[in-house]
Structure formats: C-alpha cells, structure tokens
Amino acid sequence: MCGLAGFIDFSRSSNEEILGKMTRSIAHRGPDDDGAEIRQFGDALVGLGFRRLSIIDLSPLGHQPMVNETNGDILVFNGEVYNYAEIRKELEALGHSFKSHSDTEVVLKSFQAWGSACVHKFIGMFAIVIYNPSANKVHIFRDRAGVKPLYYYWDGTLFLFASELKAFHQHPGFKKKIDFDSLRLYFHHGYIPAPYSIFKNTQKLSPGSHLEFNLRSRKIELKSYWNILDAFNKPKLKISYEEATDELEKLLISSFNYRMIADVPVGVFLSGGYDSSGVTALIQKNQTQKLKTFTIGFENELFNESHFAKGVSNYLGTDHHEYLCSEKEATEIIQDLPDVYDEPLADGGAIPNILVCKLAGKHVKVVLSADGGDEVFAGYSKYFEAHKQIERFINLPDIVKRGGAKTIEFINRFRTKSIHHVDRLSRVQSYLQARDGAMMLNALNQTFTEAEISSFLKIKTKHLYSKFMNGHLLNKNNEEIDRVIAIDYQTYLVDDILAKVDRATSFLSLEGREPLLDHRIAEFAATLPADYKMRNGVGKAILRNVVHRHIPKELVDRPKQGFGLPISTWGLKELKPLFDEAFDPAFLRRQKIFSVKKVRGLYEYYMAGNEHCFDRIYEIFVFQMWYKRWME
C-alpha cells in the first residue's frame, strides 16, 4: 500500500512545498519513504509525489518517483504487479538491464518497451502515473478490478491526481465545491459510483481505464483497456462441472501464490465463511510455515462470529490471532470515519474493517482479504431477489409498464410524502421502469427513491447515467443472473467494498491484497454457465465445491451474516450526542442543502425508537460528519 499525488499546473503556481503537503496528507499510505519530482514543459509544471510502504525490494533502489535514465520517463506506482519476475525475464531478453529487484522498475521498463500496451501484461492491483517527456504526455492506469484508487481533478488550468481526495485539499488551486448530482447518487446507494465524485470537476478513474493527458493540447483521452462485460459476452464454456471445478482450483492457487510474494510478513483476514476459509486453506496447504490469520470478534455474543473462524483455523493449523472488542472501542471508531473515508461512504462494515486492520498491523505488513467472491460467483441473496422481481415484471406488456410508471409519477406530484420509511409506490415505479436484472438490482437496493431524494434535497439536481444502466451491453449469451453480477462487479464491489477495505488498510499502513479478484478468475467465472454459479437456489456453487475439497462442509456452511453491528441502537444511546449534532436544525439550515422539516422529521421518528429506518438515518449522518470535516 502506497500513496501518490501530483499535478499538471498550467498557471505554474505549484511548487515542491505544495507537493510535499499533498503527499504528507496521505503519509499513512506509505510511512517508510517519500519522494517528489517536478519538471517543466512549456507553460506547464508537472509534479509527481509519492509515499512508500516498502513491500518488495526494501532497499533505497525501490525509491519513487523512479526515473528511467534511458528516456527520462518518471513513474509513481501504487500497488503490486505480481508477475513482475516473469516480465523482467522477458525484458532482459530484449536487452533491458535492472538496478533493483522491485516491480516498480519492471513497470517503468515495460512502458519503455511496449508503451501503454504494457498494462495487458500485468497481473496485479495498481494505480500507475507515468510522465513521458519525449511525447509530452502523462499516462495514468488503474487496475482491472479497481482495487487501487485514483482520483483526478481538472478545471482547464490545473490537473490534480491522488490516491485519496484529502491530498487535493492541500493544493490552493483546488476548488472544493460539492457536486450535488453525485450527492443524489450517494443517497441512492450509500456510495458514489465511478466515475463520479463528491466534488465538481473531480472524478474517479474507472477500473480497467487508461487516461492520457496531452500537455500540448491540454486534452484528456480516456480509454478502456479491460472490461468485465467483454468476458461475459464471450460464448459460455462447454465444460463439465467437475472440469470447471478443477480449472477454478488451479486459477485460485495461482492467484493466491502470487499474492504471497513479499519481502515482509503476510497474513489473511479469516471470518470463517467460504471465501476467506477457501483462501486460507489453499495457501496453508501449499506452505509449511503456519499462515497468520486474523479475526475480530465482539464481546456482545449476538454479533460475535469469531468462533467460526477459530474452528477453521484449528482445522487448518494456522497461527490465529483473535481480538474481542468492546462496544466502546467500536463506537470510538465512528469519529474517525470522515478522516479515513474522505468521500461519504455509508457502510457500517467500515468499523469492524478498521478494527481488524488494527489487529493485523501488529503482526504483518501485508494482509489478504477475501472480497469479491460474492460478486464473481453470485453469492448475495439480493441477486436472487432481483432475479425473482425481474421475472415478475419483465413479462408485463410495455404499455402497462409505461402507463403504470407515468401514473405513479403523476400521483407523486400531488401527495405529501414522508421519508420515514420506504415509499412503496415510488419503489414500484422503479420496478416498472427496470429493463433488466441490473436495473432491478438498482431499484431493490436504493436507500432512497428518486422521488424521495427530490423531496428532501433543496437543491435541484439531475439524474446521472451510472453503470447500473449498462445491463443492455450484455448479449443474449447471458442469463439475468449474469447481468446482475456483472453490473454489481462494476459498481458496489468497486466503490463500496474495495473503497472500504483500501481506506481501512491504508489508514493503518497495511497493504491489502484481493486474491479472489485476479482478472483471470473473473474472466473464467464470467464464461461459465450461470447454473455453475447459482445451483438449486444456492450461490457460489462452484466456489463452494472447491472449498469442500479442503475443509469439511459443516465448518463453513452457514447463513451469510457479514460484519453486523448494533449501530442503530448506538445512535439512540452511546452515539446520541454525535447524531444530535449531525441533525441539529441550526446546522441543517446553515448548510442550505436539505429540507429541515423532512430531515428533522425523519430523525425524530428514529429517536422515538423506530430503528427500522436506520439505513436512511445513517446515510445522512455519514454525509453530515463528512461535511463538518471537509467543508466547514
């Protein structure tokens, strides 16, 4: 885990001091070393800054920014290219020589050898920035799954880039104005999907993308070098279930072995579920040394699942570390969230994620997280619900669906709506407008409907096109369940799950790796028949089949729970002062963003003991905490 930040400044008002402030703001991502390079091209100053967390080649030879002495290219690189040793041999055969043993130098020489096409050779997670002075261009790449983050800002004169938004606040040219159209998306999902960001003129580089900035023309060109939808659109494999299981196990072992490559200690987050248990089992099987595993538990037994992880650890013989935290420790994390997540993210799982990172950080510098299994292999119950609802509504005549949606829209103009609980009429309108499973998934999982958001936001906003609308890009080879998981892979996985884990690990100066998100696994799974992933109403069927080869079924086969915490109760008790502050009428009026009457009405309804509306309360609460930290 490292951090990068920099600028292209056509006003030439930036300098090394500003660049230093930008990188120091993300020092938690790389406490081991820092560096900066500034070059001038015509009217532009190009600055590249870096914070290093030393993982591979711990010597000073891995220092960044790294300069290619042959052609003057300068690189900053956050992440890992796991197959760098193989690529290095290929480059050496072409006549390239190396000073270090780092993957960073391999990336730099790969760009020299193959240009932007080099990214196709990389197996890994990365955000890469390369200043190429000979072509007067800056190139930025983000990995295929989007494990590593990359934000950029462009106002026509100043271009900024960084691993986290907080670096932008350190540049005097950054204008922090809320993008209220993106805020609308936040209140739908609890996160802001790429390419959008909470700020105007600011975007996330989408996964699998290459940004090329031409310094002469000041033009940005965005290209997609990889898209999971392309894999889904290939013909489905004609392969038996057992053959597919064998092939998947080989891919998993290759991916897991790659992600154990490091010059520092490596561990695994172990929850005791299928995904983390499978990762742990296949790694432990292929090494003699005991693998370090980490689990966080809770003193409150209603929310404590640590004994499941302990059972798997005992069976596999790992070096297991467990910590039972109190409600006091968990609630104290809430106040850190705006610093950890500098863009609003209303996922309560952030709290246990930070706690388990604190535990792991005492023992290792790299930790493997088993995210992505549900999105790649159809594990969530919401997929089945979307599938069921689309079958219910898809066969209605178009005239009925259009007429029903327009009727509801007309009725909504004349009725007074509270936002205390789900507006079922508006929800049905969303169902009627859904063209496929992906849009139905969006309708099912939005916290607030379009009509509800319009009723409590005082500022007029427009609806932004998001990847939830991309289901039509999938061809007829795909069943509805494939459309659902393909779009969830591009949205919820990237901008909720991966953002949550990246910020939590980096906040504690850990490198988080995602072995189930190797692009080879994702591509293979996309070409499997749908019933290999969802069988007899059970998701992740083929992945479960692999895990059962190594762990007794009774140790891992249980209902999916995830990290559950009683935050809704804390808001009424321990955290009440913090919630009162967030929903204070004077604060709401000062912001001029919300209908004070609507939002206060929702809060008073919650404070009367109606915890079922907490998802709605929490989204607003998280935004209010973020606003106090970053806008006041």
Q: Are 153 and 160 in contact (CB under 8 A)?
A: yes
Q: Which of 603, 82, 552 has the alpha carbon at shortest distance from 315?
A: 552
- Of 2, 118, 325, 613, catalytic: 2
**Rg, the chain, Cα only:** 24
Tell how many helices (H) and how many strands (E) occur in the chain.
29, 17
Is the model's pLDDT at 440 over the cut of 90?
no
Is the model's pLDDT at 237 over the cut of 80?
yes
Q: Are 167 and 112 in contact (CB under 8 A)?
A: no
| Mean residue pLDDT across the chain | 93
How many Å separate Cα 529 from the centre of its chain?
A: 27
CA distances from 555 to 314, 394, 541 (A): 11, 39, 16
Top-confidence range, 145-149, 536-540, 572-576: 145-149
Is 2 labeled as catalytic in the residue annotation?
yes
* Cα–Cα distance measured from residue 478 to residue 387, given in angstroms and rounded to the nearest whole number: 13
Q: Render pLDDT for 170-222 as a digit per residue (tens, 0 to 9).
A: 999 999 999 999 999 999 999 999 999 999 999 999 999 999 999 999 999 99
Q: Are 627 and 588 in contact (CB under 8 A)?
A: no
Q: Render pLDDT for 403-423 as a digit per residue (tens, 0 to 9).
A: 887 887 777 776 666 787 777
Which residues, other chains included, contact 476 with Cβ-Cβ below 8 Å and sequence gap of 6+? Answer: none
Give the count of alpha carbons within 13 A of 483, CB side only.
Answer: 25
| pTM strictly above 0.85 | yes
- Confidence at residue 563, expressed as pLDDT on a 0 to 100 scale: 53
* Cα–Cα distance measured from residue 577 to residue 35, given in angstroms and rounded to the nearest whole number: 42
Sorted by where each starts, the structural domains of the chain and their CATH numbers stand as: 3-226 (3.60.20.10), 241-376+493-556 (3.40.50.620), 381-487 (no CATH), 567-630 (no CATH)
Q: Render pLDDT for 506-527 as a digit per residue (tens, 0 to 9).
A: 999 999 999 999 999 999 999 9
Q: Which of 404, 388, 385, 407 has the alpha carbon at shortest distance from 396?
A: 404
Question: At how many degrees (to 10) do helices 614-630 and 180-189 cross?
Answer: 140
- Confidence at residue 442, expressed as pLDDT on a 0 to 100 scale: 83
